[in-house]
Amino acid sequence: MLLFTPGPTPVPEHVRIAMAQKTIHHRTPEFTEIFKDTRERLLNLFGTEECVILASTGTGAMESTVINLCQKKALVINAGKFGGRFAKIARAYNIPVTELCYEWDTPADVDEVIEAIKSDEDIDALFIQICESAGGLRHPVEEIAKEAKKIRDITIVADGITAVGVEPIDVSDIDALIAGSQKALMLPPGLAMVGLSAKAVEKIGNGRGYYFNLASEISKQRTGTTAYTAATTLIIGLGEILKTIEKAGLDNLYRVTAKRAEATREALRAIGLKIYPKTPANAMTAIIDENSEDIRKILKTEFGVNIAGGQDHLKGKIFRINHMGLIEHYEAAWVVNSIELALERIGRRVYDGTANAVFNKIYFG
């Protein structure tokens, strides 16, 4: 079965093998060496001054940024399940929060966000997804961050869980950039990372919370270890995957991912399907279709392809195809071909290979 869900994504074989070695103790020179090397590579991927690696899923990293980087009031952009999660975290800690809500296919409006910041002096941190995975939507994060910083020194937290490793991200105005293991980084779930600006480190000060106190992690991780038991196996995996990405070249990964995303979108448009978000991200393609569940089922049972459906009010209404990670072009081509075959099965069109022809023309053209 081809795993084409926008997280978890398949783990490359050599990374699985690296993680299958004997467990080593986390307080040893041997592990410290691995940790320091991985941390350097991660800083290079983020393009930030500082970073921390946390043993948690992405949500834990989101929680760490809310409690450590918002001191007065949070402004949350909610255009989907993950945006909404930032607001839920803030409420769980009794942190005042203003939510700007959008339909799940609609990116945040730069002027509206800026207006919200201008009209409330208490807002000291903005939380936004780069790609909102609920609808495969790309928010104009860099533009919002740039304009927001012109108003006052507000902290910008960008959830890049489905963006870091997918596309180059300009971090000039971003203070915290979140990544997770099981999406673009092709690892098993359980590890989260946050890239931090020097300003963010300053604002964190002594930190807040206990397990997710970023100050304790920063000071430990600078010395080559973690505050609590390190997720050694996953960190070894992270080091391996970062080496692989670097070897092929980061720019190359971004270029191929963008091409695969574009080829998939155009192939599916060519067979009459509709892209759901107004501004599609390259991490995944989301299609809005009344036969979404039938298509997913046929893909799974007849063509060996596992794609994701929608969540909450989009359950049964959309399907989502992953583009994150190192994906063989013949697998991606097979996915669009299977969708065309599925449309024939449900009597929507006569199969003529259009999806594959369009995909290949764009991918190899």
Ligand X SMILES: *Cc1c(COP(=O)(O)O)cnc(C)c1O
Give the residues lining the site for ligand X (CB under 6 A): 7, 57-59, 82, 129, 133, 159, 161-162, 180, 183, 189
Output 159 or 217, the one with its CB closest to ligand X. Answer: 159
From start to end of the chain, where are the E strands? 2-3, 50-54, 73-78, 97-101, 123-129, 131-132, 137-138, 155-159, 176-180, 192-196, 274-275, 284-288, 305-306, 308-309, 318-322
Output 197 or 322, the one with its CB closest to ligand X. Answer: 322
Least Cβ distance, residue 327 to ligand X (angstroms): 17
Asked, as a colleague might, if the bond just before 29 is cis with ω within 30 of 0, I would say no
Decide: helix, strand or coil at residue 170.
coil
Task: Please give the Cα distance from 284 to 323 (Å, whole number).
Answer: 5
Taking CB atoms, the residue at the shortest distance from ligand X is 58
Least Cβ distance, residue 3 to ligand X (angstroms): 15
Least Cβ distance, residue 315 to ligand X (angstroms): 17
Least Cβ distance, residue 282 to ligand X (angstroms): 14
Least Cβ distance, residue 193 to ligand X (angstroms): 11
| Cβ–Cβ < 8 Å for 51, 42 | yes
DSSP string, 265-290: HHHHHHTT-EE-SSSB-SSEEEEE-T
Q: Look up tokens 């002594």; give the residue.
A: 206
Task: Please give the Cα distance from 67 to 91 (Å, whole number).
Answer: 11
Output 287 or 355, the one with its CB closest to ligand X. Answer: 287
What end-to-end distance do the CA atoms of the chain give, in Å?
28
Least Cβ distance, residue 163 to ligand X (angstroms): 8
Output 163 or 267, the one with its CB closest to ligand X. Answer: 163
Output 126 or 267, the one with its CB closest to ligand X. Answer: 126
Output 36 or 81, the one with its CB closest to ligand X. Answer: 81
